[in-house]
Amino acid sequence: MPLHVPPAPAPALRTVLTALGSPTAVREARTPSLQSARGPATPELPLPVHALDRITAEGAGTTRLAGWRFLIHCQGRAVAAAETRLTPDGWAFSHFFEGPYIASTERALRQAETMQQPYQPRLLSVPELYMLTLWLHADHTADGATGHPAPTDLLVPLAPAPPGIAAHRPHRVADLLPVLTTRLTPAPLLGSPA
């Protein structure tokens, strides 16, 4: 089934296009792949980035839109990513970067395209665990900038994933979030009452 990629806000896309057209922004990005790219670099596959904060013992937490991420393609392959963020004045370019999450995101998206059910792809960050997942939202017609992971949505941890959590293995939200809470709950001190 094809993925239903939500449209990025036009101002967010404009900020990335402006940054890509700025030799200063690209030079200061310190991403060797982007600096040495031959040919035009284009932002593709815009994904809303949501952050999951304050996970509870039941696996619930608060979700907020943190920005939009664009994979930067050059000659048919992703060489970097661009991140935008919402400011009081509107959408602003944040930074370019590269690293393992770019290839891992592409791999997870290809994996998701083979699934039978249509999904809306998003990214879900769990800052407390330094974890990033591809969030496959079952309501593919929803506004990509809003919402909370539904229990039947899928989360695909991206590599590098935290120890003990397999990257690129889809998990239902109802199954994975409770596991994450055990990693956030500090163990009781020896000799302290339970």
Strand 154-157 and strand 77-87: the pairing is: unpaired
**What distance in Å separates the CA atoms of residue 102 and residue 71, rounded to the nearest whole number?**
7
pLDDT at 89: 94
Whether the Cβ atoms of residue 127 and residue 53 lie closer than 8 Å to each other: yes
The torsion region of residue 31 among left (phi > 0), alpha (psi -120 to 50) and beta comes to beta
Condensed to tens digits (0 to 9), the pLDDT of residues 40-98 reads 899 999 999 999 987 765 556 778 999 999 999 998 889 999 999 999 999 999 999 99
Whether the Cβ atoms of residue 32 and residue 98 lie closer than 8 Å to each other: yes
Condensed to tens digits (0 to 9), the pLDDT of residues 117-164 reads 999 999 999 988 899 999 999 999 999 999 889 999 999 999 999 888
pLDDT at 37: 80
Query: How far, CA to CA in Å, does 55 sit from each of 4, 59, 145, 147, 148?
Result: 28, 6, 20, 16, 12
As a whole number, mean pLDDT of residues 13-24 equals: 91
